[in-house]
Chains A and B, each alone.
Chain A
């Protein structure tokens, strides 16, 4: 640890409650209903009432087409008619989706508020209808009037609207430099599907073998269908509380040992200097400077898998193996197995099989595992140290969590 302890402000924050709405491939329900279901569930889980909530935090706000947001700041603030909000922050230019949780931790740590409601809500499944992902792509309707700007200016004219193709190029370069194979990458998807089989809320729970993975249709080489997460409808919420409010809470909270939010290179999908990794490696490197814990202390890891290769970037970036050695680490799948691995990974099925809850599902699962509330999929010997990592491309945020008994 290189920071003085009194500068690690996130330790004055805890996760005191977690909640989730119904989750489904296409629920065709009002997304705000799902959002508020998750929010109320989190408040209840913490043993609080709406009158106790004095902070609000969310990603990405009400922004985005195609079911990207099921409820922003105004929707939730007014929807639950809060009367005591001291601080709020909703937006999209965060260090990953979990940036909203990290913002909340910093706000309570700074004394601006005591109990922050944090949420992320998606309804991409219903928004797509039966049209698939192409239905919600910019210009997907064939309109000639839409013009690309911002980062999209540099990829959309080349017929590359999906992060699948951008991420695929990183995977290709990793394969090229380090000899990583499709079988090794495929362990992430196969492992997730196995875990999803024990998660009653998972989207895909039928068994999937390595042969199934390898014979799936290609999306953008070397990524196949099962390397891509599944859009869904659902909302996830947390309560982030000031650590000294523990007496008000229903159950012992999850401690935030450290967070990291770094972005050291160019903030871009295609201009970032290292084509075999992502800023996940910047956040990962900084995280371990804020704690005496080591990667080997982690009992459960839930790490972003919008596309499976992003998990590779997190595995290496977080120091669970050396740079370039994720292929060997994943070989055979033993290291990441929920019941016997050194690093039980994406224990609810991740976004690949449990649905694209967009970052928040990883923190939810790590908390549930640390609380020992994961039911059939509970990691053995109730874990005490967990990580939640979210973000791909030029955004990355990670939390190191502890729950000592």
Chain B
């Protein structure tokens, strides 16, 4: 039996106070094996980002089970996990605007306790080695996302959470960035959970979880006529 990176059962989350609470996630269950990849799909507002936030400890679930690296989430040292094992990539603004691309990668590596000297290596691996001294505003959106990936891989993560990592890129660039992501994920053998609206990108993951149909709509009953 393969080792599970992540096991989720009966996860529930809503926002707001008791009466006006808006359920976002309800009775969610899935598993992610080591080295596996999972795409989260669903229309806007279905809770993809919320789920990713829960998985990296930035939000707390209301109920349910969440076992991460064989440990219950309530006992997890989330700071340490985020620092060293879980890499997060957002749609944009993943870099410190005041630091060069290389310094960004080195900062992320240093926080993870990884050698800073590998910073240039990761930029090279992502084909932006010659942009190392540029600042985020001096490179294109696609190059910024590559730099964001370089930062994540520089920390040698066990799990990558990516929230629409190619959401603001054009088709060709998005494919390029996705290529790099999947290639390095395969090489390093880390897990990947990726939220996206793009079916093509989702199809490159081993499994897809459609939140829109699994969670809110089902529990809210049939849609009104």
Whether A and B are associated in the same complex: the answer reads: no
Write the residues of chain B forming the contact surface with A, with a CB cutoff of 8 angstroms.
none
